[in-house]
Amino acid sequence: MAIKKRKDAVIIPSDMFFYIIPLIPSRQRLTREDLATHYEPPKGRKAYMGNHYKLISFENSILTVQVHPSDGSENHLYLHVELDELHVACTCGMPDDKLCYHAFIGLHSMCWLTEGFNFQEIYWPGYYDSAKAKKFLEIELGKERINISANPDFGTLYRSGLKFPDDQPPALSNPTDRVLTLKPGETAVYSYALCFATGRFRNRHFPLLLPFFGITSKDGSKVVSFTKFILPDKLPVKSNGHQLQQQLDSYSKTLYGIVRPLSLAENRDWTAWDSTKHIVFKMWQEILPLLIDYPYNQSYHLYWLKYLRERPMKTLMQGCRYSLERPSLTFNLTYHKHYFTLMVDIIIGSKAIKVEHKPHLFVFDEETNTCFLMNTLQDDELLIWMTDNNNKITILAEHFHEFDKDFLRQLSDKYSVFFSERSGKRIAYDCNLVKSITGV
Ligand SMILES: [Zn+2]
């Protein structure tokens, strides 16, 4: 192996002999047991005392190691690792092309751990060139150990032959679920729509799950025409479809059975309505994980359940995605000199989403058409109250104490409430602090 001279790199004569020690591919560890098959280990403890080694450099894929055995000699070892081999050279030249005493002592000392020396640390094929190594790798060279990792700017590096040895991606199972794969273009699909009413129509019905037939677009990526809804009370008792589909059909039917009579009743029993909301919420918590991977999910905005026909209105259908993340509510109290306002942010992850139309139990991120189930019924009711009030509660400064006692104190016990002046910074709500800042 010929290595060109670099200013501080080691100079290795092009005819230097390298002894080859086979390694288990993708393991690349050398143990003392492995080593003993290449060199007869000296007998007695004394032979292993007073031996020293020091890692000198790692350049152009060569790890240079200085070896000082107890016999007083001093040599350099040059180590290079391939996927399944360790190449070892010594400045003594290894007479007779055999692994020399220096190499044995050096490697033996490096392999003092029972699991041996991990030569995978220096196996970075493709990154050996010094400019590349500098850019992509972080090399920590200690006296006895070397650690090489990816420069964090590049995340993780794909290592040829090893993939991602430090942190393999999760195993991806083959999709065995035929139902869940996208269909080719212009074919019939069976999928589900979340049917809801919002705003002042919200109380007409709770969200339902409606199965429908549709036709996919040319590229198969979305549904472009909606052939018919299967009214859940007309769903076949025994479907021969996929198991997931049978589960969803069954939920669809149960929900419809609960929601429809209550929705169509002439004089609504509000106590029954409230207790039904708990049941419907619980059911949606079960449905969502089943629905999340289903292709071609839609939302259907229906004002009145009695207008539900088998033929979907295309304009009311919209492709939607579901997320298992739950929104959280954060309130913002702002001081405007003579009055305060209280508003709510709906937070998903770390991002506030904009919600203008709120059905029961869900919020839609209107930017991404993603649908989230509320975290609790209390959150749902609070958010409905806020959105129905244009998400703004205004309190005159002179009523602030009363408002705090009546409402804000309880709210801030249960939710994050922040306070800010119009120009000031945002701080956690504290009644006394607000009083001292605003002088109310
Ligand atoms: Zn030697």
pLDDT at 114: 85
Read off the pLDDT of residues 317-367 as tens digits, 9 standing for 90 and up: 999 999 999 999 999 999 988 889 999 999 998 899 998 889 999 999 988
CA 35 – ligand 1 centroid, Å:
15
pLDDT at 415: 93
pLDDT at 231: 85
**How confident is residue 5, by pLDDT bands cut at 50, 70 and 90?**
very low
DSSP class of residue 196 equals E
| Percent of the chain residues topping a pLDDT of 90 | 58
DSSP class of residue 241 equals S
* β 370-373/137-141 pair status: unpaired
Q: What rounded mean pLDDT belongs to the chain?
A: 88
CA 38 – ligand 1 centroid, Å:
14
CA 98 – ligand 1 centroid, Å:
9
CA 67 – ligand 1 centroid, Å:
9
Residues 390-415: what's their mean pLDDT?
A: 89
CA 114 – ligand 1 centroid, Å:
24
Spatial separation of the C-alpha atoms in residues 292 and 401, rounded to whole Å = 46
Question: How is residue 305 written in tokens?
Answer: 């359940």
CB 60 within 8 A of CB 129: yes
Spatial separation of the C-alpha atoms in residues 367 and 355, rounded to whole Å = 10
* CB-based contacts of 368, cutoff 8 Å, min separation 6: 321
Exposure of 201 by Cβ count < 10 A (0-12 exposed, 13-18 middle, 19+ buried)? middle
CA 166 – ligand 1 centroid, Å:
33
CA 292 – ligand 1 centroid, Å:
64
CA 29 – ligand 1 centroid, Å:
21
**How confident is residue 377, by pLDDT bands cut at 50, 70 and 90?**
very high
CA 4 – ligand 1 centroid, Å:
22
CA 120 – ligand 1 centroid, Å:
23
CA 77 – ligand 1 centroid, Å:
7
CA 2 – ligand 1 centroid, Å:
19
Read off the pLDDT of residues 410-427 as tens digits, 9 standing for 90 and up: 999 999 999 998 667 888
CA 121 – ligand 1 centroid, Å:
23
**How confident is residue 433, by pLDDT bands cut at 50, 70 and 90?**
confident
Cα 127 from chain centroid (whole Å): 28
To the nearest 10°, report the CA torsion of 323, 325, 327, 328: 180
Residues 107-119: what's their mean pLDDT?
A: 93
**How confident is residue 239, by pLDDT bands cut at 50, 70 and 90?**
low
Question: How is residue 407 written in tokens?
Answer: 């409402």
Q: CB atoms < 10 A from the CB of 3, how many? A: 19
DSSP class of residue 390 equals T
CA 106 – ligand 1 centroid, Å:
9
CA 91 – ligand 1 centroid, Å:
6
CB 238 within 8 A of CB 250: no
Residue with tokens 């040059």: 78
CA 63 – ligand 1 centroid, Å:
15
Read off the pLDDT of residues 42-97 as tens digits, 9 standing for 90 and up: 999 999 999 999 999 999 999 999 999 999 999 999 999 999 999 999 999 999 99
Q: Is the predicted pLDDT of residue 27 greater than 90, yes or no?
A: no
* Cα four-point dihedral sign 289, 361, 252, 368: negative
pLDDT at 240: 65
Report yes or no on whether pTM surpasses 0.85.
no
Spatial separation of the C-alpha atoms in residues 87 and 18, rounded to whole Å = 6
CA 427 – ligand 1 centroid, Å:
69
Higher pLDDT, 51 or 27: 51
CA 78 – ligand 1 centroid, Å:
10
Residue with tokens 């997320």: 323
CB 292 within 8 A of CB 244: no
CA 20 – ligand 1 centroid, Å:
14
Q: Is the predicted pLDDT of residue 16 greater than 70, yes or no?
A: yes
Higher pLDDT, 265 or 371: 371
CA 97 – ligand 1 centroid, Å:
10
CA 6 – ligand 1 centroid, Å:
23
CA 70 – ligand 1 centroid, Å:
14
CA 433 – ligand 1 centroid, Å:
76
pLDDT at 10: 61
CA 109 – ligand 1 centroid, Å:
15
Domain extents in the chain: 19-154, 178-321, 328-438
CA 100 – ligand 1 centroid, Å:
5
3-state per-residue secondary structure call for 42-54: CCCHHHHCCCEEE
Q: Report the alpha-carbon angle 351-354-355, nearest 5.
A: 130
Question: How is residue 132 written in tokens?
Answer: 């590349």
CA 103 – ligand 1 centroid, Å:
6
CA 23 – ligand 1 centroid, Å:
21
Using DSSP's 3-state secondary structure scheme, residue 334 falls into strand
pLDDT at 440: 84
Reference 143, options 116, 179, 176, 110; nearest CA is 110
Higher pLDDT, 137 or 178: 137
**How confident is residue 169, by pLDDT bands cut at 50, 70 and 90?**
confident
Q: Is the predicted pLDDT of residue 390 greater than 60, yes or no?
A: yes
CA 90 – ligand 1 centroid, Å:
4
Question: How is residue 4 written in tokens?
Answer: 């060109």
CA 440 – ligand 1 centroid, Å:
86
Q: Residue 249 region, left (φ>0) first, then alpha (ψ -120 to 50), else beta?
A: alpha
Q: Is the predicted pLDDT of residue 178 greater than 60, yes or no?
A: no
Residue with tokens 């010594």: 90
Read off the pLDDT of residues 118-142 as tens digits, 9 standing for 90 and up: 999 999 998 988 888 999 999 999 9
CA 8 – ligand 1 centroid, Å:
22
CB 204 within 8 A of CB 197: yes
CA 143 – ligand 1 centroid, Å:
20
Q: First vs last Cα of the chain: how many Å apart?
A: 82
